[in-house]
Amino acid sequence: MHIALTEEQTMIQDMAKKFAESELAPVAAQLDETKDQTLFKENIGKLAELGFMGLNVKAEYGGVEAGVVAFSLAITEIAKACASTAVTTSVTNMVAEVIQAVGNEEQKQKYLPKLCSGEYLAGGFCLTESSAGSDPAGMKTTAVKDGDEYVLNGSKIYITSGDFAGCFVVWAVTDADAKKGKGISCFIVEAGTPGMTIGKSEHKMGQHASPTNEVHFDNCRVPASALMGQENRGFGVAVGELAGGRIGIGSLALGIGLAALDYAKEYSKERKQFGTQISNFQGLQWMMAERYTEMEAARLLLMQAAFLKEQDQPFGTAASMAKLFAAEKANKAVYDALQMLGGAGYIKEYPLERMARDVRITSIYEGTSEIQKVIISRELLK
């Protein structure tokens, strides 16, 4: 099997790597500490100018048509420097792909160029609710048809980039009498629409620079043209896009894990104990060997899932396997890297403390590790 990257994929990977090292890495600790939204948005805007907000969007809508493999490579490189920036990039790409996949021509022409160019700095993916997390089909937000409009009522939680997203894809129940998951529709709602309010940014454990908000709908009226795809057929869209989003989050986890290991590896060459560099101790050598091997396995799983999606082949199970493995093993990699630094790893002066907080969420969002196991086992037992 030929798994070498194409010239375009290599170019995008290199571009992401150079931008991450020159623009993101120097300010990652500052963003974590201050949550400076001006600086954060500047970097998001620069990534949009380089084409990273529409990696799998057709050129006619402002994207670069680089494909899913290139998307995964780019997110990994960005996450090595700044997980907050990587998650915003990943989710915005996912929102753009939803619109491209199920939006009509007018919706695609209106919204995709704005997302890809950075006119909209981000897109919001409004699915999760307080009683509908791992069970999104249990959502309570409603959209009731009223003439030429739909009236939305309800709340969404944990919405990435809620503070500054230019548009939101929103799922709501349009047929309360339908079987669970069958009466849900998907809408596109512009920021600033009357009746939609953005809650305060959550005080999170990690990924501090990326705002995460509640989004409330109180008699929020949107035109009937805001409906994407067929009415009552939106839940399948959400499930499909979550599968694609798992490639992004798995890639993000991989990037954090590799960055942590690379830092610890270099540290071990400098740090001396018992008269020699600690890298000479077999205990640390084996720790590095195991963790790097797992990161390489995660990379290959992600490449497989990305390739399958790119080829329009079934990829949901592969994406769940990749996300499960990458997230769990990246958490292990970061904690082992922190252990290799000893007491220094626990000090904010070193990046491992931040990485340990940033990586933790990767085994939770876009479907917890437990949910990935449910998806995988369901497919195995089908």
Percent of the chain with pLDDT over 90: 95
- Evaluate if residue 24 carries a pLDDT over 90: yes
**Do 158 and 136 fall within a single domain?**
yes
Q: Which residue, 167, 165, 139, is CA-closest to 154?
A: 139
Task: Give mean pLDDT, residues 185-210.
Answer: 97
**Do 72 and 179 fall within a single domain?**
no
Buried b (16+ CB within 10 A) or exposed e, 12-30: bbebbbebbeebbeebbbe
What pTM did the predictor assign?
Answer: 0.96
For position 3, what pLDDT does the model report?
77
**Within 10 Å of residue 216's Cβ, how many Cβ atoms?**
18
**Domain tally, the chain:** 3
The sign of the torsion formed by the CA atoms of 275, 281, 287, 288 equals: positive
pLDDT bucket at 237, cuts 50 / 70 / 90: confident
Question: What value does the mean pLDDT of the chain take?
Answer: 96
**Do 77 and 94 fall within a single domain?**
yes
Domain span at residue 223 reads 124-232
Task: Give mean pLDDT, residues 181-210.
Answer: 96
**Do 224 and 201 fall within a single domain?**
yes
**Do 89 and 137 fall within a single domain?**
no
**Do 79 and 155 fall within a single domain?**
no
**Do 163 and 296 fall within a single domain?**
no
Inside any domain, residue 1: no
**Do 261 and 335 fall within a single domain?**
yes
pLDDT bucket at 197, cuts 50 / 70 / 90: very high
* Cβ 64 vs Cβ 57: under 8 Å: yes
370 is catalytic: no
Among 212, 232, 252, which residue terminates a domain?
232
For position 1, what pLDDT does the model report?
57
Work out whether strand 167-173 and strand 123-126 pair parallel, antiparallel, or are unpaired: parallel
- Evaluate if residue 78 carries a pLDDT over 70: yes
How confident is the model over 326-338, as pLDDT tens digits?
999 999 999 999 9
**Do 189 and 142 fall within a single domain?**
yes
Distance CA 4, CA 1 (A): 9
- Evaluate if residue 218 carries a pLDDT over 70: yes
Inside any domain, residue 99: yes
**Do 258 and 376 fall within a single domain?**
yes
**Which among 77, 106, 366, 370 is annotated as catalytic?**
366
For position 241, what pLDDT does the model report?
84
Among 121, 152, 176, which residue terminates a domain?
121
* Cβ 82 vs Cβ 257: under 8 Å: no
Task: Give mean pLDDT, residues 26-31.
Answer: 97
- Evaluate if residue 181 carries a pLDDT over 90: no
For position 141, what pLDDT does the model report?
97
Q: Which residue, 17, 157, 131, is CA-closest to 74?
A: 17
Inside any domain, residue 266: yes
**Do 156 and 173 fall within a single domain?**
yes
